[in-house]
Structure 1
Amino acid sequence: MSDQNAQRVVVASQHYPPDKSGNASRVSDTCSRLAAEGWEVTVLAPPPAFPHGQFDRSWDRKTTDTRDGVTVHRLWAWQPTLEDPGFISRMAYYLLFPIHAFLWLLFNYRTYDAVITSSPPIFTGMAALPFGLLSRKSWIVDVRDLWIDASVGLGFIEEGGVLERVSRAYERVVLRTADRVTVTTTVLGERLESQYGIDDRKIVHLPNGVETAEFRPTDGKSASTIVYTGNVGHAQDLEACIKALSEMDSDTATLRIVGDGDIRNDLDELVSEEGLDDRVEFTGLVPREEIPGILDNAAIGVAPLKSDDVLEYAIPTKAYEYMAFRLPVVATGIGEIEVLIDESEGGVFVENDPQRLAEAFDTLLADPERREQLGRNGREHVVERYDRGVIAARLSAVLDEVVIS
Structure 2
Amino acid sequence: MRILIISQHFPPEKSGNASRIFDMSSHLRKLGVNVNVLAPYPSFPSGSFKRKWSISESGTLNGVDLVNLFAWQPNREDPGFVGRIAYYLTFPLHTIIWILFNFSKFDVIITSAPPIFTGFGGIPAKLLFKKKWVMDVRDLWINASISLGFLKKGSLFEKMSRAYEQICYSNADMICVTTEELGQDISRTYKSIDMKKIKVTPNGVDTDFFYPVDVPKKNQIIYAGNIGHAQDLEDVILAMKKVNEQFDLKLLIVGDGDIKGYLEKITIENGLTDYVEFPGLLPREEIPKMLSESLIGVAPLKKLKTLEYAVPTKVYEYMACRIPFVGCGEGEIRKLAERSSGGIIAENEPDSIADTILYLLKNPEKQAEMGKKGRAFVDKHYSRQQIAANLKSGLESIDVEKQIPIVSDGISYADSQ
Q: TM-score range by the shorter chain?
A: over 0.9
- Name the residue aligned to 1:363: 359
Q: TM-score, normalised by structure 2?
A: 0.94
- Name the residue aligned to 2:407: none
The Cα offsets for residues 200-256 of structure 1, whole Å up to 9 and x where unpaired, read as: 000011001111111111332424211001111110000010010112242411100
Q: Is the contact made by 1:211 and 1:387 (CA closer than 8 Å) also made in structure 2?
A: yes
- Name the residue aligned to 2:167: 173
Match of 1:217 among 212, 219, 233: 212
Match of 2:276 among 255, 280, 285: 280
1:100 aligns with 2:94: yes
Q: Is the contact made by 1:221 and 1:299 (CA closer than 8 Å) also made in structure 2?
A: no
Match of 2:329 among 329, 333, 339: 333
How big is the shift at 1:128? Answer: 1.6
Match of 1:247 among 227, 242, 247: 242
- Name the residue aligned to 1:21: 15
- Name the residue aligned to 1:306: 302
Match of 2:43 among 40, 44, 49: 49
State how 1:5-404 maps to structure 2 within 5 Å.
7-197=1-191, 198-248=193-243, 249-402=245-398
Q: Is the contact made by 1:258 and 1:284 (CA closer than 8 Å) also made in structure 2?
A: yes
Q: Is the contact made by 1:138 and 1:403 (CA closer than 8 Å) also made in structure 2?
A: no
How big is the shift at 1:20? Answer: 1.7
- CA distance, structure 1, for counterparts of residue 202 and residue 104 of structure 2: 30
- CA distance, structure 2, for counterparts of residue 137 and residue 223 of structure 1: 51
How big is the shift at 1:377? Answer: 0.4
Residues 302 and 221 of structure 1, relative CA distance in 2, 3 Å threshold: farther
Q: Is the contact made by 2:173 and 2:400 (CA closer than 8 Å) also made in structure 1?
A: no
Gaps of 5+ in 1: 1-6
- CA distance, structure 1, for counterparts of residue 375 and residue 212 of structure 2: 9
Q: Which amino acid aligns with 2:302?
A: K
- CA distance, structure 1, for counterparts of residue 247 and residue 317 of structure 2: 27
**Deviation beyond 6 Å, 4+ runs, structure 1:** none
- CA distance, structure 2, for counterparts of residue 280 and residue 250 of structure 1: 16
| Local SS of the residue matching 2:397 | helix
- CA distance, structure 1, for counterparts of residue 72 and residue 216 of structure 2: 42
Q: Is the contact made by 1:114 and 1:403 (CA closer than 8 Å) also made in structure 2?
A: no
Q: Which amino acid aligns with 2:274?
A: D
- CA distance, structure 2, for counterparts of residue 250 and residue 183 of structure 1: 42
Gaps of 5+ in 2: 402-417
- Name the residue aligned to 2:411: none
- Name the residue aligned to 1:3: none
Q: Is the contact made by 2:213 and 2:289 (CA closer than 8 Å) also made in structure 1?
A: no
| Local SS of the residue matching 1:128 | helix
**How many residues align structurally?**
399
Q: Which amino acid aligns with 1:169?
A: A
- CA distance, structure 1, for counterparts of residue 92 and residue 398 of structure 2: 23
| Local SS of the residue matching 1:50 | coil
Q: Is the contact made by 1:40 and 1:70 (CA closer than 8 Å) also made in structure 2?
A: no
| Local SS of the residue matching 2:135 | strand
How big is the shift at 1:398? Answer: 1.6
Q: Which amino acid aligns with 1:155?
A: G
Q: Which amino acid aligns with 2:195?
A: D
The Cα offsets for residues 231-290 of structure 1, whole Å up to 9 and x where unpaired, read as: 111100000100101122424111000011111111111111221111100011111111
How big is the shift at 1:111? Answer: 2.6
The Cα offsets for residues 138-179 of structure 1, whole Å up to 9 and x where unpaired, read as: 000000010000000001001111111110110111011100
Q: Cα RMSD between the aligned structures?
A: 1.2
- CA distance, structure 2, for counterparts of residue 233 and residue 34 of structure 1: 30
Q: Which amino acid aligns with 2:359?
A: T
Q: Is the contact made by 1:113 and 1:403 (CA closer than 8 Å) also made in structure 2?
A: no
What percent identity do the matched residue pairs reach? 49
Residues 88 and 279 of structure 1, relative CA distance in 2, 3 Å threshold: same
The Cα offsets for residues 76-120 of structure 1, whole Å up to 9 and x where unpaired, read as: 111110111111111111011111111111111123111000000
